[in-house]
Amino acid sequence: MKLTLLGTGDAGHIPVYGCDCKACLTAKEDPSFKRGKTSAVVEIGSKQLLIDGNAPDLLQRFPPGSLDAIWLTHYHMDHVQSLFDLRWGVGESILVYGPDDPNGCDDLFKHPGILAFQTPLRPFFPIEFEGISITPVPLAHSKVSLGYVFETTRGGVVKRLAYLTDTRGLPEETLHWLIENPVDLILIDCAFPPGDNWRNHNDVVLAKSLFNKIQPDAMGLIHIGHKLACWAMDNPDYFNDHFFLARDGQEFLL
Amino acid sequence: MKLTLLGTGDAGHIPVYGCDCKACLTAKEDPSFKRGKTSAVVEIGSKQLLIDGNAPDLLQRFPPGSLDAIWLTHYHMDHVQSLFDLRWGVGESILVYGPDDPNGCDDLFKHPGILAFQTPLRPFFPIEFEGISITPVPLAHSKVSLGYVFETTRGGVVKRLAYLTDTRGLPEETLHWLIENPVDLILIDCAFPPGDNWRNHNDVVLAKSLFNKIQPDAMGLIHIGHKLACWAMDNPDYFNDHFFLARDGQEFLL
């Protein structure tokens, strides 16, 4: 199984429109520092699962027949924006899994088109997909949100990768589950530098405290805002191979 | 004054995802037949007004400082989709004018960011902008919608261009106004071929009946669906220089 990050930025992405901060200027000069809105594609054999539907090139990148399912973390616009285009396609439906949020986003449920929204997922009830187990775990956000833990077992060895966005901190039951079920890699929402304590998203101090509590092998930060990207340029020693800012296009094998 | 069509397609645009109809295949082979979601930019001297905010490359095409205002026809997603990215910019606000729709779209009004939503426009009360008069006129759609009539006067000669989408037919008072105030060019919603009588959008027979009633010099069809594009390929004689399918990138001078 391979997870590829299609984007690692927050709703404003990097560079932010009109911004001349150090992180945004760097991204304008060198596209490898750009951060699209956070989403990922998971490849399992010949199957492709998309986590969130916000990639601006979603329809081009995933031609008809190439997507086996879409898993949504939640129904905020910056995570489902491209589904408003995809739904008007024709042909085979695409399975869409997500949290139990009867409101969805705008009129997505009213006019689903080719999007086949499935029964909402139940937290901590894993779904088997092509030999991989995917466990939804509740997150702490302003809209009902689920993280997903991917689990493989080979020769008795269990490997887990957790994808946790959007969230600020973690609900007690999710924290407990992640401690009880050791995770190799956590990719987690971290929008802000220290002291930028907006609700709904982690700042980097809070993310590091979660790292220390859960003790995964590694934690990669996603849903990164430009202020955190600036702060990270000034504080490189805060990061290392086990606690790092993930990059667009970065791949993780499980 | 110059109006450039950034897109002339409906919400599903052309080619439609997964579709192999004649119009969609042609557009795949020759990008000049593609139709993005309908929107336009109006240039008046050095000023730029955007009509609707749905262009996928909006943030790249209109760098910070280049947009003097955005005029919205209505708050359906396929007309405001890119504003959900633009709002998170920093720096100067962008004036946004639109119809009186307290619901807006999703959380645009709750989190407007750099979008400065102005008092809703009053139908038939023109606004002066850089020597151009812009008159909002009510349309007939499932969400409160306004068309815009641009008017110039040079040497006593009045010229008018009407941009009318989304609509099915026209409200009586708008029809009356357009007959009383002769219009040189009408760009109008026409999504469907004859007999494809969905609510909310014109079919080509209805559009032609409006042409005959209003008698503008010319009528260009916009918000075109792939079924109409197919039908037009089979029925070229239905169209001429005065009643035509507009094209992406087409420019109109007033």
Q: What ipTM was estimated for this complex?
A: 0.95
Shortest distance between the Cα of A37 and any Cα of chain B, in A, equals 10
The whole-angstrom separation of Cα A189 and Cα A9 is 9
Residue in B12, B86, B91 nearest the CB of A88: B12
Residues A199-215 have pLDDT tens digits of 899 999 999 999 999 99
Q: Which residues of chain B have pLDDT under 70?
A: none
Give the pLDDT score at B195. 85
Q: Positive or negative, the Cα torsion across B181, B182, B185, B187?
A: positive
Give the pLDDT score at A195. 85
The answer on pLDDT for A196 being more than 80 is: no
Q: Is residue B192 helix, strand or coil?
A: strand
Mean pLDDT in residue range A7-31: 97
Shortest distance between the Cα of B212 and any Cα of chain A, in A, equals 32
Preferred mutation among B17, B67, B105, B107 to probe A, highest tally of A CBs within 10 A: B17
Residues B185-242 have pLDDT tens digits of 999 999 999 987 778 999 999 999 999 999 999 999 999 999 999 999 999 999 999 9
Preferred mutation among A58, A74, A90, A114 to probe B, highest tally of B CBs within 10 A: A90
Preferred mutation among A28, A76, A93, A106 to probe B, highest tally of B CBs within 10 A: A106
The whole-angstrom separation of Cα A80 and Cα A72 is 8
Shortest distance between the Cα of A158 and any Cα of chain B, in A, equals 38
Residue of B nearest to A103 (CA): B106
Give the pLDDT score at B11. 96
Residues of A with Cβ-Cβ distance to B19 under 8 angstroms: 89-91
Give the pLDDT score at A30. 97
Contact B18 A89 (CB under 8 A): yes
Closest C-alpha among B188, B149, B183 to residue B170: B188
Contact A18 B56 (CB under 8 A): no
The answer on pLDDT for A67 being more than 80 is: yes
Closest C-alpha among B84, B111, B60 to residue A83: B84
Q: What is the DSSP string of A74-113?
A: ---HHHHTTHHHHTT--SS-EEEE--S-TT-STTTTTS-T
Amino acid occupying residue A168: R
Q: Is residue A62 helix, strand or coil?
A: coil
Q: What is the DSSP string of A123-191?
A: TT--EEETTEEEEEEE--SSS--EEEEEEEEETTEEEEEEEE-S-SS--HHHHHHHHHS--SEEEEE--
Residue of B nearest to A55 (CA): B56
Residue of B nearest to A20 (CA): B90
Residue of B nearest to A75 (CA): B106
Contact B105 A105 (CB under 8 A): no
Q: How far is CA A89 from CA A85, A110, B32, in A?
A: 8, 16, 20
Average pLDDT, rounded, for chain A: 97
Per the structure block, which two tokens stand in for A126?
Answer: 């894993």
Give the pLDDT score at A136. 98
Mean pLDDT in residue range A8-13: 97
Mean pLDDT in residue range A147-170: 96
The answer on pLDDT for A151 being more than 80 is: yes
Residues of B with Cβ-Cβ distance to A105 under 8 angstroms: 106
Contact B89 A59 (CB under 8 A): no
Mean pLDDT in residue range A211-240: 98
Residue of A nearest to B61 (CA): A17
Residue in A13, A89, A106 nearest the CB of B17: A89
Preferred mutation among A24, A59, A66, A88 to probe B, highest tally of B CBs within 10 A: A88
* Residue pairs between chains A and B whose CB atoms are closer than 8 Å: 75
Query: Please, which pLDDT band fits residue A27 given cuts at 50, 70 and 90?
Result: very high
CB within 8 Å of B209: residues ≥ 6 apart: none
Query: In which order are the strands placed within the sheet that holds B127-129?
Result: B127-129, B132-138, B146-154, B157-164, B185-189, B218-222, B243-245
Chain B residues touching chain A at CB-CB below 8 Å = 11-13, 16-19, 56, 59, 64-65, 77-78, 81, 84-86, 88-92, 105-107, 114
Give the pLDDT score at A138. 98
